[in-house]
Amino acid sequence: VTEELRKVWICVGCDMRVSNHSGRPIPQPAKWEDDRCPKCRLDLAFDVGGREGENAMAELLGMRRRRPTMAKTPDESKPPKPVDPEMVALKVCVKEVSLAHPDWSAEKVGEEVGVKTRTAARYRTELGLSRQPGPTAEQREQIARVLLTETPRSDEEVAKAVGVKTFTVTDVRRKMDVPPYRTRIREDRERRVAEVAAEHPNWGYKRVATEIGVPLNSTRRAFDKLRKSGAAEPVPTAA
Ligand SMILES: [Zn+2]
């Protein structure tokens, strides 16, 4: 039994997250093993040991077998159910996308293929293609590129665009010393206000606000800041 405490435990099979509301680090949840939730442990047992393996694991975990069709038809001599060609096609898609993007979340894979996150996660587990831990170097570069574009985007947006977890984006952004989204938006506004104010020294904040389409409150705050700093010139661009 591992003594390790983590703020969030994420199942490698299905991306399920377990955390305490308080944010306090917690030990690995009950019946988890090697970062795998009980359901995914069952899946793995089935992959490795077939129905027998799955049953043994189910017993170990005190869970009922999840495949009702199997429970109802213990007769092994019966021919297997006909394979649904549509499902096979979707599985092939999940396989292709997972191989091309080994570190994509199940959610992202599901989105790409057009299936639910849970379905994508299940197919991946069945195919032995669970997500590889950690973002690739390429994805980190991609995140950096998106963060450096002129239009500020929230960490969530960037994460969605690149196909990584939000905390990965936050991590990359902090290492790059890029301020958070809201700060960038505010700094951007202040810069535009300062520019217009410098061009038209006798304009009031209301006219400036109308000119650049920034809310009155924000413009007034930017104005106050300008006055306090005593800057007649536009405020410098944030690094
Ligand atoms: Zn799981």
Ligand 1: distance of its center to the CA of 38 in Å? 7
User: In this structure, are residues 110 and 116 in contact, taking their beta carbons and an 8 Å threshold?
Assistant: yes
| Mean pLDDT, the chain, integer | 82
- Rounded to an integer, the average pLDDT of 217-221 is 89
| Verdict on whether the full-model pTM lies above 0.85 | no
Burial class (CB in 10 A: 0-12, 13-18, 19+), 185: middle
Q: How far is the CA of 121 from the centre of ligand 1 (A)?
A: 8
Residues whose CB falls within 8 Å of the CB of residue 4, separated by 6 or more in sequence, listed in order: 27, 28
Q: What number is the average pLDDT over the span 194-214?
A: 90
Q: Is 29 strand, coil or helix? A: coil
Distance from Cα 41 to the centre of ligand 1, integer Å: 7
pLDDT tier, 214 (very low <50, low <70, confident <90, very high otherwise): confident
Using pLDDT thresholds of 50, 70 and 90, give the confidence band for residue 79.
low
Residue 43 CA to ligand 1 centre (angstroms)? 9
| pLDDT, position 164 | 85
Cα–Cα distance, 237 to 239 (Å, whole number): 6
Q: What's the token pair of residue 232? A: 């007649």
φ/ψ bin of 141: left (φ > 0), alpha (ψ from -120 to 50), beta (otherwise): alpha
